[in-house]
């Protein structure tokens, strides 16, 4: 569909990751429009159902940008005992609620002639479409260019506003790094088939490639420089190499050039990924 923000026709797939490990949980191809609350709720319901088959007692926290702070999503999370931290669009009501803190930060910045001063506050807020009042945390930043205020809404009762925004919400940037690995470095944006089902299949295959690359990277010793390398670096250093392949009945031998700088590392990775004996 045509998306005015990008000024072109596009898909807007949903990427869901476990950001602690970098593992992808769901890749869902969808039209190039903002998802509705009912759509997001349906995707999360199916995902949570699969997770709880294996970890029924694990406490879950869902983090997302403002597209996910829909009343249907938050009501469902509340009913399921799932915590959430979502971006929240600012408005006049929220601006008035944090005006005292914003004015204090703006004044102190001007008095100290500081180029930038940041502060945090929180308030209780209930939009017209919400069934309940919820906690809204604000990051307030005063600079020489003016005032910038960002809001998040959360179900978490503990933790300061600074912790909720800087530590929990801003770690959403790690998901964007993982999306970059998936989209830019594994070319998962190459959805050139005419059929949406075929394009979804392509997205699944790219996700399989993501798992393979992640498996290789996880096999690299943690002390090695490539242990946290991006996929494009791993491809150039470890995969795009010339070697002589000799197949025998019992094994496959790879003969690298004598000057191969990562021959020892490749041997370690092959040993770590070797299937266990039956």
Tell whether the model's pLDDT for residue 166 goes beyond 80.
yes
Question: pLDDT class for 110, splitting at 50, 70, 90?
Answer: very high
Q: How far is CA 261 from CA 121, 168, 255, 257, 266, in A?
A: 52, 40, 13, 9, 10
Tell me which of 11 and 97 has the higher pLDDT.
Answer: 97
Tell whether the model's pLDDT for residue 277 goes beyond 80.
no
> Whole-model pTM?
0.83
Residue with tokens 């940041």: 118
Tell whether the model's pLDDT for residue 122 goes beyond 90.
yes
Residue 215: what pLDDT? 95
Please compute the mean of the pLDDT values over residues 257-265 and round it to a whole number. 89
Give me the helix-helix angle, 71-80 and 37-54, nearest 10°: 20
| 61-82 per-position pLDDT tens digit | 999 988 889 999 999 999 999 9
Tell whether the model's pLDDT for residue 3 goes beyond 90.
no
Q: Six-digit token pair at 118? A: 């940041």
Q: For residue 41, which of 86, 12, 72, 17 has the smallest C-alpha distance?
A: 72
Q: Taking a C-beta distance cutoff of 8 angstroms, is the pair 217, 234 a contact?
A: yes
Give the chain's radius of gyration (CA, Å). Answer: 24
Please compute the mean of the pLDDT values over residues 162-185 and round it to a whole number. 92
Please compute the mean of the pLDDT values over residues 247-267 and round it to a whole number. 89
Residue 167: what pLDDT? 92
Tell whether the model's pLDDT for residue 97 goes beyond 90.
yes
Tell whether the model's pLDDT for residue 214 goes beyond 80.
yes
Residue 87: what pLDDT? 94
| 19-36 per-position pLDDT tens digit | 888 999 999 999 888 889
Q: How far is CA 60 from CA 14, 71, 154, 195, in A?
A: 19, 19, 13, 35
Residues 147, 139: Cα–Cα separation, whole Å: 11
Please compute the mean of the pLDDT values over residues 11-17 and round it to a whole number. 90
Quick one: three-class SS letters along 65-130?
Answer: CHHHCCHHHHHHHHHHCCEEEEEECCCHHHHHHCHHHHHHHHHHHHHHCCCEEEEEEEEEECCCCC
Residues 271, 254: Cα–Cα separation, whole Å: 13
Q: Six-digit token pair at 165? A: 């925004």
Residue 67: what pLDDT? 85
Residues 232, 62: Cα–Cα separation, whole Å: 29
Q: Six-digit token pair at 104? A: 């204090």
Average pLDDT taken over every residue of the chain: 92
């Amino acid at each position: 569909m045509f998306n005015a923000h990008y000024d072109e026709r596009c898909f807007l797939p949903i990427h869901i990751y476990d950001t602690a490990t970098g593992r992808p949980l769901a890749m869902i191809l969808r039209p190039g429009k903002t998802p509705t609350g009912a759509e997001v709720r349906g995707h999360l319901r199916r995902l949570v159902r699969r997770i709880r088959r294996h970890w029924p007692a694990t406490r879950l926290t869902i983090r997302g940008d403002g597209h996910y702070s829909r009343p249907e999503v938050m009501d469902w999370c509340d009913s399921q005992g799932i915590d959430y931290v979502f971006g929240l669009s600012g408005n006049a009501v929220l601006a008035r609620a944090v005006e005292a803190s914003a004015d204090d930060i703006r004044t102190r910045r001007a008095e100290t002639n500081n180029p930038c001063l940041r502060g945090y506050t929180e308030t209780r807020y209930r939009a017209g479409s919400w069934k309940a009042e919820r906690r809204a945390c604000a990051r307030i930043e005063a600079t020489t260019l003016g005032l910038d205020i960002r809001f998040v809404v959360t179900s978490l009762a503990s933790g300061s506003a600074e912790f909720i925004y800087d530590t929990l919400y801003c770690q959403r940037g790690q998901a964007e790094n993982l999306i970059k690995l998936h989209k830019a470095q594994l070319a998962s944006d190459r959805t050139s088939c005419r059929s949406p089902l075929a394009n979804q299949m392509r997205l699944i295959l790219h996700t399989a490639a993501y798992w393979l690359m992640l498996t290789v990277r996880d096999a690299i010793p943690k002390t090695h420089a490539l242990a946290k390398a991006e996929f494009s670096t791993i491809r150039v250093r470890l995969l795009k190499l010339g070697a002589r392949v000799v197949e025998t009945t019992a094994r496959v031998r790879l003969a690298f050039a004598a000057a191969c700088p990562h021959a020892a590392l490749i041997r370690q990775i092959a040993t770590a990924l070797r299937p266990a004996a039956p």
